[in-house]
Amino acid sequence: MKLYVASTSSFAGKTLVALALAKLWAREGVSVGYVKPLGKIPVMEGGRAVDEDASFLAGELGLPGPPEAVCPVVITQDLVMAAYRGERRSLKDLILRAVSEAASRADALLLGGAANLRDGIFLGIPPLALISELDCRVLLVDKFSGEKSMDQILWAAGELRERLLGVVFNRVAPGQEAFLRETVLPYFTARNLRVFGAVPSDAVLDSVSVRRLSESLSADIACGEEVLDTMIERFCVGAMEVDSALRVFRRIPRKAVITGGHRADIQLAALETDTCCLVLTGGVAPNEHILARAQEARVPILVVQEDTLFTVEKFENLMGRLRIREKEKIERGVNLVRANVDTGGILAALRGGGTKRK
């Protein structure tokens, strides 16, 4: 059995859903394998390029073999330039071999899709063709965004036809839950498109560790190295008068405060509230009083060279592209999928029960 976990857009939650399915099915005695045919997040491990998501998932699931067994093709600049030059490389053969070997060791094989069902065409490995040649069923993961989601899902359903097993919605905002339940789900039911569940947005999953933030901002750590795994759920900018700032800070728990390194008044106000991290901009380190108070409160302080506006933009970009890495987020994500998605129904449909679209 092969299930291709696809999505309608980047950062829809494919890795979370695949990880949760693998862990939950394993509890039912199902041997689960995983292959990501095309990796687009190259990182260096042991002197070679591997895909970050695939490497993470392989480690979490204890999958055997070298990195290329889990992700046979990792997109690099060399690979892209070779495609521009028209050089033919047997990328599909690498994928077919990896999938065949992984499938021979597992009852169910999960395949992690790229950002959408078109990524890979330029390299000669179009996802739709791979899905057909590998005889996969497809689970479509969508970060619900109204009419845009409807267009994307209906387009995918038209292309995949009987190969589409169903849809899982992810990161559904609280204000969208009733509309999804009362309007969207009946729409799909009337068209014989099965929705296996909807995972609500979650503060823990949408959080980022201070460590990850520090790496993303290339920040210097002024203090708090022992608590870098603290999770940040929200952030705010300290650019107002201190009285106004204090009122705002008191309303926002588990936050990072971004402010100028010279704004000791704002920094002190932040430290009097539920603050996970201070980010000081402009390359200005905290004074001794702020440093001592932060150490007492066990609040890390990051110092960046850039100005506040630039730092806020980088932070917003990071928060929109979060990945499941920290133990707390892994456990939370798996539990959310278990509670909100019919994972048993997905397995039953994959095995052959109720797979036909009328």
110 contacts 18 by C-beta, under 8 angstroms: yes
| Residue-level pLDDT, tens digit, the chain, 358 residues | 999 999 988 888 898 999 999 999 999 999 999 999 999 888 888 778 888 888 888 889 999 888 889 999 999 899 999 999 988 788 999 999 999 999 999 999 999 998 899 999 999 999 999 999 999 999 999 999 889 999 999 999 999 999 999 999 999 999 999 999 999 999 999 999 999 999 999 888 888 899 989 998 999 999 999 999 999 988 999 988 999 999 999 999 999 999 999 999 999 999 999 999 999 999 999 999 999 999 999 999 999 999 999 999 888 777 665 567 777 888 999 999 999 999 999 999 999 844 444 3
Cβ neighbour number for residue 284 with a 10 Å cutoff: 15
Parallel, antiparallel or unpaired: strands 42-45 and 48-51: antiparallel
Q: Where along the chain do the CATH 3.40.1390.20 domains lie?
A: 208-319
Handedness of CA 103, 107, 111, 112 (dihedral sign): negative
Write down the pTM of the prediction.
0.82
In the chain, % of residues over pLDDT 70:
97
Fold (topology level) of 208-319: 3.40.1390
Structure tokens at 178: 């009733």
- The Cα 292–Cα 266 span in angstroms is 15
Which among 54, 10, 234, 322 has a CA at the least distance from the CA of 143?
Answer: 10
Structure tokens at 76: 């690099």
Tell me the pLDDT tens digit for each residue of 92-124. 999 999 999 999 999 999 999 988 999 999 999
Q: Where along the chain do the CATH 3.40.50.300 domains lie?
A: 2-202+324-351
| DSSP classification of residue 145 | -
CA 115, distance to chain mean position in Å, is: 11
Tell me the pLDDT tens digit for each residue of 273-299. 999 999 999 999 999 999 999 999 999
3-state secondary structure of 193: coil
Q: Which amino acid is at 65?
A: G
29 contacts 347 by C-beta, under 8 angstroms: no
CATH number of the domain at 2-202+324-351, out of 3.40.50.11740, 3.40.50.300, 1.10.150.110, 3.55.10.10?
A: 3.40.50.300
Cβ neighbour number for residue 27 with a 10 Å cutoff: 9
